[in-house]
Structure 1
Amino acid sequence: MNTFTLLPRLATAAGLLALGGCAASAPPASTTTPTATTAPAPAPEPEVHGLSINVADIDRTAAPCDDFFQFAGGAWLKANPIPGYASSWGPRNLLQDRNQALMRRILDAAAANRAAAPGSNAQKVGDFYASAMDTVAIEAAGLKYLQPELARVAAVKDRRTLLDALAHQKMLQIGTYFNIGVEVDEKNSAQYIVGMSQGGLTLPDRDYYLKDDERSKKIREAYRTYLRNTFQLLGDNEATARKNAEAVERLETRLARASRTRVELRDPQANYNKMTVAEATKKYPHLELPRLLGALQLGAAKDVVVGQPAFLAEADKLVQTEPLADQKTYLRWHLVRTATSGLPQAYVDEAFRFQQVLGGAKTQTVRWKRMLAATDNYLGEAFGQLYVDEAFPPRAKAKALEMVANVKASMADHIQTNTWMSPATKEEALKKLNALRVKIGYPDQWKDYSALTISRESYLKNLLAARQWDFRDEARHLGQPIDRNQWGMTPPTVNAYYNPPMNEIVFPAGYLQPPFFNPDADDAVNYGAIGGVMGHEMTHGFDDQGRQYDAAGNLRDWWTQQDNDEFNRRAAVVGRQYDAFSPLDSVHVNGKLTMGENLADFAGLTIVYGALQKQLQKTYGTGPRPKIDGFTPEQRFFLAWAQLRRTNIRPEALRQQILTDPHSPGQYRTIGPLMNMPEFYQAFGCQPSQKMVRAEQDRAKIW
């Protein structure tokens, strides 16, 4: 998931699922639905075949009630090793490949169209992608188009001009020292405010600078090599490159020590520290905030929200106390590393050699895929208009909206029948659910790119222009009414999110694609797959973070103390369960870091199971519900959930995920919720002695 300054601290779902292909006709082994011993034998259920789970992917040697992850997708995992260019591989990658093929056709056609009207979206998209793919021109240009930016850093002669250079880098969305941008005020969601938060690091997390285990030391050594070699490419001799590398690492380590941990960052109340600009200027005098805001076209700001005050205090001291030459080196480094894709291949190779150590990939992703992603990132809604015309028919949107409505109705049922929540809290919860906004496919109102100039002259020039335009487009929101039509992801994105201050769930068209979502597919499979994501995102509004925001999106405590304590007690059970999961020796899932995503998986699946039952009742009434490929609807529902989270992942990437990602690894996202669900036990006839069955007193139950 991308990070959006306009949508801070999103509680996002990876929802890394994808529908299986058309199923084969072989019936499953020992997967019949149990019936009560006192009930009469049911009438034979009709056997039909259709758009369902892929039975060829099932590992028949595994028992579904002992290891459902292996049972549901073990054959697929064995047959689908990780490609050399990837760190992990799963159905989401297959959806990405399918999506990328369509996007490439659109972009190739746009790049070939030299007759597009100047200034049109088609011209800008075509020229951006064409310039990105013109590696001959990129090699020939060398550092030509970066020189003005390098010269700006070189011209810094004192603290004042240092801050000028820092402000300019913020306009180019380079994350030096800290992050700053316009966001929704989380305690007054009817207005925008300037937000400032910790940042300034190259490595993925503070712990990469501070831990002393062998893996962390190996990564830091690779990082030093990356730094030294890149500085030498810029023209530094070996001794100077080494000195500059040491300076960058030292400054970043200082910032890392002042940074909050990933778990600490999950506390929205602690990350909301509102103060006037005058107060912030007094607290952080060396950042000269009024001048910085003015340079960023944010001079009208009267207040700011500081996410991590202690971090910003350290950044303020760093600006004042560190040698100016070292800080210029730090700015120079971040400028170059964020411009790598527009520089000659030698720079790209150095960055990839470091990424190999960090994530374990063997070969680099082909350039067209990387530049396709860049085009989507920087011209997402211009490109998105071309994409949705081909990829998202109206009936797909109608089906998705129908499913969301059913999931929402099921959520309301679960709130109303909740046994531990007080009437006052239930009333507030239902108010929040009823106020939830749903965005499907693409924005109702597209961004206007008319002020952005794109040509075929230089990809790097286009890249920097697009970043600057995007920052200014964000800055213009300050002082304006909240833009409810704004999206934090582009239409082709294979992902979804819940945004607490806006109280909205958003599903881009790229996520709602075959084989991930198919309006013609079996309901049980659609609900287990994309429906599981819908439930996940919806229940993010009621997870340990999202529940702290009210119906209007304000960070406000609307829970009674008793209900609050009971929720935390129940959530702690989930935390302990995931703490016990260990995918590698001495490596355990962090139940606190992954709490929100685990709660959304578990609660979301429970809610969506209820929505499916409503849909099945509507379709079949009290009559028999057909099996497809030998599976009942309930079995297909759980198989779809599991098959769409199957993932092969390299050990290096798995360790990084456990350290930095709020999502648990795929195998635990699969089995974690099911181990708590009697509905799963019933669907597959599980017995108390089997591994997927938790004793009743050990089960988690939220909704």
Structure 2
Amino acid sequence: MRLKKSSWWLAGLGLAVGAACATQPQSASEETEPQLGVEVEEAAEAEATGEPRFGNFGFDTEGMNTDVTPGDDFYAYASGAWQETTEIPSDRARYGVFDMLSLEAEEQVNQIILAAAKEGGEPGSNAQLIGDLYASWMDAESIEEAGLKPLQPHFAAINALDSHDAAARLMADPVYPVMVSVRIMPDPADPTVYTVSSGQSGLGMPNRDYYLDESERFVQYRQAYLEYIARLFELAMIEGGVEKAEAILALETAIAKAHWTRERSRQVEETYNVLSVEEYAALAPSLKLAEGLEIRGLTDLDKVIVSQPSAVEGIGEVFANASLDLLKDYLTFHFISDRASWLPSAFDEASFTFYSKTLRGTEEQRERDRRGTELVGWTLGHAVGQEYVALHFPPESKAQMEDLVANLTEGFEGRLKTLDWMDDATRAQALEKLSTFEPRIGYPETWDSYEGLELAADDYFGNRLRISEHRWNEELKRFKEPVDRERWSWPPQMVNASYNPLMNQITFPAGILQAPFFDPHADPAMNYGAIGAVIGHEIGHGFDDQGRRFDAHGRIRDWWTPETNAAFEEASSRLGEQYSQFCPIDDLCINGQLSMGENIGDLGGMQMAYAAYRNFVEKTYPEGEAPVIDGFTGDQRFFLAWAQVWRSLYRDDALRAQLVNGPHSPGMYRVNGVVRNLDAWYEAFDVTEDHALYLPPEERVRIW
């Protein structure tokens, strides 16, 4: 589903670049096609009648293209008509099932927000915070009238810098941009306590490739970035924007050269580097890193986990060699850019033009009220989420999901016990880890508190600063306390799923527990092939190329014997080679190494879900086979369910961004890349060596 601002520490089901947690969220306000895009009222009607939401058994058969042979292109067979008749809304960079469900959830959230705004509420209450944040965002006139005034104190702080040391100290203030990130997280050596993690940062474009790739489109991205930087200086009434832009791009290019690649940055064994505070500070003396920790309120530390030590070292050298005036310009630009949507519309439009239109291909900005709904739904996610769950997530759905998780876990346990490539010593620890998995379904038991947060209906810029300050202060409060395993980083209305290796938790928010992922009235094959495979995907993250580095207690530890490790790496390497052959853009293919964990998750998830489904069939149907429905066998319906949830359309730049930035393969390859490795799919659709997706049995990757 959605790409999160996180590293391998939190593995998600994933979608595309353009996160729901982005500073300036972009997504569609309307749906343009009938299949898998009915209105909320129609979904409610389907629920009330007890009928599947889609078709006769939970699948949109009208979206198929049965002229395509399943063995040649299973994705097109399952969704070809949908693909041909659906258009990407003009205010979206991509469009698919996840987007449709997110929009439905957003409409429900909008009703909650409007009700809260109408109700008002006591100061500090959820209703007051929701209503006033939304009102301050919608008050575009006041934002225009304020103009540059909210920026002036921060410009003054930056312009007052008289040395590199002063600039380094300012970057330690959470309000200002940073070249080296600092965050609080559970300690991988002991996940019951928190520690501090630090790593590379400092870029205004998505990653190092945007600065260093010499292909034509990336050269165009850099030119557009120069124009964007200059435009913000112009809007801020600061002279010399063109020259400043060129210098800032050169500075960030030097930072990008120091950055690790995304492939290297997801390797647990390389990114877990425990340093003393003194060793950490010595990496980049110019950045005053130890002093910066104290400025942030992080005192009495005995260690820092550094994700990319050589990158931090290189960034320190770039910082030391830059002129003070350049550093001031860099800080000024990024302070404005990070808050462009908080400012008058000209700033907002400039940011949209570069980040959404140029980098992602989005044609037009969303309506303001839709953006406001997304903003409040994420920023005050738990305040909104409590009402969302009460209205839209029935207890019956949670109970049915619990049964599915139990069935998937049981099925995977059976597979672990019989894997021929895993030795008994590793198997025992794998089974122990599986036994400690903690599923979290629907919503948290304990909601985040917004106590102490003050928001006003007429001060959007100030509201956002206070929200940021409140979040950091809440992190500091938790820092000296034991890790709270009940905390959710996502609101329940989020359409996503995740695995956290440090907690050994799999999380399924209420937002994803909708058709076609999960439909309590659909044929069981549909739920096993859709949400069942999602459950398996998240369980699989605990055993993928990085999640397997953590043990049953979430501690970073190598518990694999050399023999079993070699067998796993041989199989996963072959899977990576398969995906690296998929090239959706002529000059750009899937990065099999970067997408390895997610591809393993998809394949393993389907393997687990199919085993669980077959167990269900044998227990449920006297003949040992599910009935044929609309001409489709139970096994066929199972595979069609998986294909349906990955329906997706991309604009060219959005697809390019996903290939360069994202750990997830594009939708069609999450279908075709998986099914060709599953023996049961060949049998279900009579796939032979004459078909394009055919792989000889010895070339099919079997991991879980």
Indicate the residue corresponding to 1:518 in structure 2.
519
Read off the aligned partner of 1:533 and give its amino acid letter: V
For 1:54, the equivalent position in structure 2 comes to 60
Matched, 1:226 2:228: yes
User: Retained in 2: the 8 A contact 1:183–1:193?
Assistant: yes
Gap change, CA 1:269 and 1:623, over 3 Å in 2: closer
After superposition, residues 251-290 of structure 1 pair within 5 angstroms as 251-290=251-290
Which residue among 177, 180, 189 is the counterpart of 2:179?
A: 177
Structure 1 pair 20/681, CA: closer, same or farther in 2 (3 Å)?
Answer: farther
Moved more, 618-627 or 311-320: 618-627
CA distance in 2, matches of 1:621, 1:479: 57
Distance 1:51 1:463, change over 3 A: farther
Which residue number in structure 1 is paired with residue 295 of structure 2?
295
Q: Which amino acid aligns with 2:651?
A: R
Once residues 291 and 638 of structure 1 are traced to their aligned partners in structure 2, the CA distance between those partners, rounded to angstroms, is 56
Kindly provide the CA deviation profile for residues 260-300 of structure 1, in whole angstroms up to 9, marking residues without a partner as x: 00111121110011111122223332222332111111113
Matched with 1:106 is: 112
Structure 1 range deviating more: 627-636 or 260-269: 627-636
2:626 partner letter: R
Distance 1:433 1:217 in 2: 47
Report the CA distance shift for 1:156/1:2 in structure 2 as closer, same or farther (over 3 A).
farther
Note the C-alpha offset of 1:476: 2.2
Q: Aligned equivalents of 1:339 and 1:99: distance in 2? A: 26
Q: CA deviation at 1:505?
A: 0.8
Q: State the Cα distance separating 1:344 from its structure 2 match.
A: 0.7
Cα shift at 1:161: 2.4
Partner of residue 117, structure 1: 122
* 3-state SS of 2:149 partner: coil
Aligned residues: 671
CA distance in 1, matches of 2:624, 2:581: 43
Q: Aligned-residue CA RMSD in angstroms? A: 2.0
**Equivalent residue number for residue 557 of structure 1:** 558
Letter in 1 for 2:618: Q
**Which ranges in structure 1 are unaligned for 5 or more consecutive residues?**
24-47
In structure 2, distance between residues paired with 1:4 and 1:466: 18
Q: Is the alpha carbon distance of 1:103 and 1:329 closer, same or farther for their aligned partners in structure 2, counting shifts above 3 Å?
A: same
Give the distance between the partners of 1:686 and 1:3, measured in 2 at CA. Answer: 37
Distance 1:339 1:49 in 2: 45
- Which residue of 1 is the match for residue 427 of structure 2? 426
Structure 1 position 331 matched with structure 2 position 331 = yes
Q: 1:646 to 1:22 in 2, by over 3 A?
A: closer
Q: Distance in 1 between matches of 2:499 and 2:559?
A: 19
For residues 273 and 230 of structure 1, the distance between their equivalents in structure 2, rounded to whole angstroms, comes to 38
Following superposition of structure 1 onto structure 2, how do residues 417-496 of structure 1 map, counting pairs within 5 Å?
417-496=418-497
Contact residue 22 and residue 54 of structure 1 kept, 8 A: no
Give, as a single letter, the amino acid of the residue that structure 1 aligns with 2:109. Answer: M
Tell me which moved more, 477-486 or 314-323. Answer: 314-323
Q: Distance in 2 between matches of 1:563 and 1:50?
A: 45
How many angstroms does 1:488 deviate by? 2.1
Q: CA deviation at 1:149?
A: 2.3
Rounded to whole Å, the distance in 2 between the matches of 1:318 and 1:66 is 51
Partner secondary structure for residue 12 of structure 2: strand
After TM superposition, give the deviation of residue 624 of structure 1 in Å. 5.1
**C-alpha displacement of 1:159:** 2.5
Equivalence for 1:161: 166
1:4 is displaced (CA, Å) by 5.6
- Please tell me whether the aligned partners of residues 49 and 628 of structure 1 are also in contact (alpha carbons under 8 angstroms): no
Q: Partners in 2 of 1:157 and 1:281 — Cα distance? A: 22
The structural deviation recorded for 1:65 is 1.4
Which SS does the other structure have where 1:299 is aligned? Answer: coil
Any idea what the Cα deviations from partners look like across 1:513-570, whole Å, max 9, x if unmatched?
2443222222111111111111111101111111111111111100000000110001
Q: 1:135 to 1:515 in 2, by over 3 A?
A: farther
Contact 2:627–2:633 under 8 Å retained in 1: yes
287-296 vs 645-654, greater mean Cα deviation = 287-296
Instruction: Write out per-residue CA displacement over residues 187-242 of structure 1, whole angstroms, 9 at most, x where no aligned residue.
Output: 222221110011111111101101111111100001111111111000023xx111
User: Is 1:142 aligned to residue 147 of structure 2?
Assistant: yes
Q: Compare 212-221 and 610-619 and name the one that shifted more.
A: 610-619
Of structures 1 and 2, the one with the larger relative CO (CA 8 A, separation 6+) is 1
Distance 1:514 1:588 in 2: 31
Match of 1:80 in 2: 86
Per-residue deviation at 1:366?
A: 1.9
In structure 2, C-alpha distance between the alignment counterparts of 1:121 and 1:671, rounded to whole Å:
45
What secondary structure is seen at the aligned counterpart in 2 of 1:518?
Answer: coil
In the alignment, which residue of structure 1 is the partner of 2:200?
198
Distance in 2 between residues matched to 1:175 and 1:184, nearest whole Å:
24
Tell me the equivalent position of 1:590. Answer: 591
- Paired position in structure 2 for 1:312: 312
Matched-pair contact (CA < 8 Å) for 1:15–1:536 = no
- In 2, Cα distance between equivalents of 1:97 and 1:522: 25
Identity of aligned residues (%): 37
Residue ranges of structure 2 left out of the alignment (5+ in a row): 17-30, 39-53
For residue 381 of structure 2, what is the aligned residue in structure 1?
380
C-alpha distance 151-2 of structure 1, shift in aligned 2 (>3 A): farther
Give the equivalent residue in structure 2 for 1:236. Answer: 238
Find the aligned partners of 1:63 and 1:186 in 2 and give their Cα distance. Answer: 48
Q: Distance in 1 between matches of 2:264 and 2:200?
A: 12
After superposition, what is the alpha-carbon deviation per residue over 1:422-468, rounded to whole angstroms, capped at 9, x for unaligned?
Answer: 00000000011111111111111111111211111211111111111
In the other structure, the counterpart of 1:37 is none
Select between 371-380 and 420-429 the one with higher mean Cα deviation: 371-380
Shift in Å, 1:21: 5.5
Instruction: Report the 3-state secondary structure (helix = DSSP H, G, I; strand = E; otherwise coil) of the residue aligned with 1:627.
Output: coil
Task: Give the Cα separation in 2 of the matches to 1:143 and 1:110.
Answer: 31
- TM-score by length of structure 2 reads 0.92
Residues of 1 paired with 2:222 and 2:480: CA distance? 43
Of 642-651 and 174-183, the range deviating more from structure 2: 174-183
The aligned runs of 1:36-55 (5 Å cut-off) are 50-55=56-61
CA contact (8 A) 1:439 1:505 kept: yes
Question: Are the structure 2 counterparts of residues 389 and 503 from structure 1 closer, same or farther at C-alpha, using a change threshold of 3 Å?
Answer: same
CA contact (8 A) 1:269 1:555 kept: no
Give secondary structure in 2 for the equivalent of 1:190: strand
Letter in 1 for 2:198: M
1:403 aligns to what?
Answer: 404
Does structure 1 retain, via aligned residues, the 8 Å contact 2:188–2:554? yes
Q: Distance in 2 between matches of 1:540 and 1:210?
A: 31
Determine helix, strand or coil for the equivalent of 1:274: strand
1:623 offset after TM fit, Å? 5.3
Alpha-carbon distance, 1:156 to partner: 1.7
Distance in 1 between residues matched to 2:510 and 2:529, nearest whole Å: 19
SS class of match (1:260): coil
659 and 305 in structure 1: CA distance in 2 versus 1, 3 angstrom threshold: same
**What amino acid does structure 2 have at the position aligned with 1:88?**
R
